[in-house]
Amino acid sequence: VNGATDTSQGRFAAPIATLAAKIGLPRELVDLRHDATHDALPTLRALRRGAMSALAWCRRAYWDAQRDAFEYASAYVRARIEGLCVIESIGRKVEDAKRAPESSSSDEDGDGGEGG
């Protein structure tokens, strides 16, 4: 909770619950943190529930966005590489076409290249 909200703290201290709400952090995590810090240690069941909630929040707030950005970047790079491969292929065909008249020009005398 603190790690997620500390970057939102300004010059004047703001309540963690307010900062957490701004970033979509579940209130249950703020309350769990408060209890663990200022009251008795929460039950194992409450801690497990909080851990699941924290993982779900991380997935929504960070991991899904990272996955989407990676997939977009991968598709972008893949498309650029495929485009470069097409350009390379065209370049080779052009080079082959430039060489082709040179090698067949000796056959232009009509004897079929058999020397007679």
In a domain, 112, yes or no: no
Across 96-108, b (16+ Cβ under 10 Å) vs e yields: eeeeeeeeeeeee
- What confidence tens digit (pLDDT) does each residue in 49-87 have? 999 999 998 898 889 989 999 999 999 999 999 999 999
In a domain, 113, yes or no: no
In a domain, 115, yes or no: no
- What confidence tens digit (pLDDT) does each residue in 1-44 have? 756 665 666 676 667 777 777 878 888 888 888 888 887 888 89
In a domain, 116, yes or no: no
Range of the domain at 6: 2-103
Number of domains forming the structure of the chain:
1
In a domain, 108, yes or no: no
In a domain, 78, yes or no: yes
Q: What does the alpha-carbon distance between residue 28 and residue 61 come to, in Å, rounded to a whole number?
A: 16
- Residue matched to tokens 């004047």: 12
In a domain, 49, yes or no: yes
